Amino acid sequence: MLTTKMLGNKLELTIPFAWQGITVQQIFREKWKTSKKQAHLFRMEGRVTFKGEKIGWDKPLDAGSKLLMDLFDTQPTEVEPFYLDLAILYEDEHVLVVNKPAFLNTHPNTPGETETLLNAVSFHLQSEGKGASVQQTHRLDRDTTGAILFAKHPLAGAILDGMLEKRLIKRTYIAAVCGTGLKKKDTINLPIGRDRHHSVRRRVSPSGQAAITHYKVLKTEPYNKLTFVACRLDTGRTHQIRVHFSHIGYPLAGDELYGGRPLFTRQALHAAKLEFTHPITLERLAVRAPFMDSPPIFKDIDLEKI
């Protein structure tokens, strides 16, 4: 874990002893694994300084050296702020994890749409006088609840995008599916594509994109004919969990689009845990999202054991 602190809108980074002799170039490309585009931008704009001067990116640095980095955009935000009382699960100067409620879009899908989680996060940051270059790293369906990860500045966003692409951000979901005959533990490896007969729905298709869902049974409710499962995704296809379980004959409860019984007002799906390496400090984080439904959908499930 790196030692950092914020000085206004600038990040002070202290070179640890384990990094003796490292260069700025290596920090960006090897430690943070950011994109070439982001590294080039910081280099060309002179946004990394040492003792008040621009630093050569190939200059070896001594342990204890303090770099100053200008992380935040000064451009005005293009995301219109919208007030919402956010359920914040984790926050520091670089990232934010929010517990998304049901019936709220992650981001605008149509011109002029402003009542979304992204707009609410923009309001939160602007109200604190912070930079407004917020971006979500991934998304959840409108009716799905749970943890969503946001980056507060472009460098963190670029690093997290790369981590997501390399499947280094682990997401665990809890779902209630109709039926009680599932194996205790299994993997669903079936490609998913668009349903040409329905503009919104997806389906398992040989010509679709690879999609892998691992699951384990947490408990069953025979009287409701429900099974509660924890799911981990290797891929992030649209409606992946919903499509996979519907295809094998166990649609999510409340998910009428995919054949689930209307036991709840929404599909019974919750993003329960996010595990990732912090994009800047390199600390390993695990963030759990409490259930939000009233009346509850997921009863007697201990998130600490997920």
Residue 6: pLDDT band by 50, 70, 90 thresholds?
Answer: confident
SS3 150: strand
How far is the C-alpha of 64 from the C-alpha of 283, rounded, in Å? 19
Q: What is the pTM of this model?
A: 0.92
For the chain, which domains are there?
A: 3-70 (3.10.290.10), 171-270 (3.30.2350.10)
The residues, ordered by sequence, that sit 6+ positions from 56 with a Cβ below 8 Å of its Cβ are 24
Of 71, 77, 69, 157, whose CA–CA distance to 124 is shortest?
77
What is the CB neighbour count within 10 angstroms for residue 88?
12
**What strands lie across the sheet with 10-14, from one edge to the other?**
3-7, 10-14, 66-70, 48-50, 53-54
**Average pLDDT for 225-235:** 95
**Average pLDDT for 76-86:** 84
Residue 38: pLDDT band by 50, 70, 90 thresholds?
Answer: confident
How far is the C-alpha of 279 from the C-alpha of 153, rounded, in Å? 11
Higher pLDDT, 134 or 102: 102
Q: Is the pLDDT of residue 276 over 70?
A: yes
How far is the C-alpha of 57 from the C-alpha of 23, rounded, in Å? 6
Active-site amino acid positions? 141
Tokens of 146: 């749970």
CA angle 277, 173, 142 (to 5 degrees): 100
Highest mean pLDDT among 132-141, 150-159, 193-202, 259-268: 259-268
The residues, ordered by sequence, that sit 6+ positions from 110 with a Cβ below 8 Å of its Cβ are none
Quick check: 16 and 281 in contact, CB under 8 A?
no
How far is the C-alpha of 62 from the C-alpha of 74, rounded, in Å? 31
Quick check: 174 and 229 in contact, CB under 8 A?
yes
CA angle 136, 289, 222 (to 5 degrees): 125
The residues, ordered by sequence, that sit 6+ positions from 146 with a Cβ below 8 Å of its Cβ are 99, 100, 140, 173, 270, 271, 272, 289
Residue 30, burial from CB neighbour count under 10 angstroms (0-12, 13-18, 19+): exposed
How far is the C-alpha of 108 from the C-alpha of 113, rounded, in Å? 5
Digit-coded pLDDT (tens) for 110-152: 888 889 999 999 999 888 776 567 889 999 999 999 999 999 9
Q: Is the pLDDT of residue 92 over 80?
A: yes
Q: Is the pLDDT of residue 77 over 90?
A: no
Q: What is the pLDDT at residue 275?
A: 97
Of 71, 63, 64, 52, whose CA–CA distance to 11 is shortest?
71
Quick check: 273 and 306 in contact, CB under 8 A?
yes
How far is the C-alpha of 35 from the C-alpha of 56, rounded, in Å? 19
Q: What is the pLDDT at residue 29?
A: 93
**Which helix H or strand E contains 29, and what residues bound it?**
none
Which letter does DSSP use for residue 76 in this model? P
SS3 244: helix
* Range 200-211 burial, b when 16+ CB lie within 10 A, else e: ebbbbeeebeeb
Tokens of 56: 């050569």
SS3 140: coil
Average confidence score pLDDT of the chain: 93
How far is the C-alpha of 168 from the C-alpha of 161, rounded, in Å? 10
Q: What is the pLDDT at residue 131?
A: 57
**Average pLDDT for 198-207:** 92
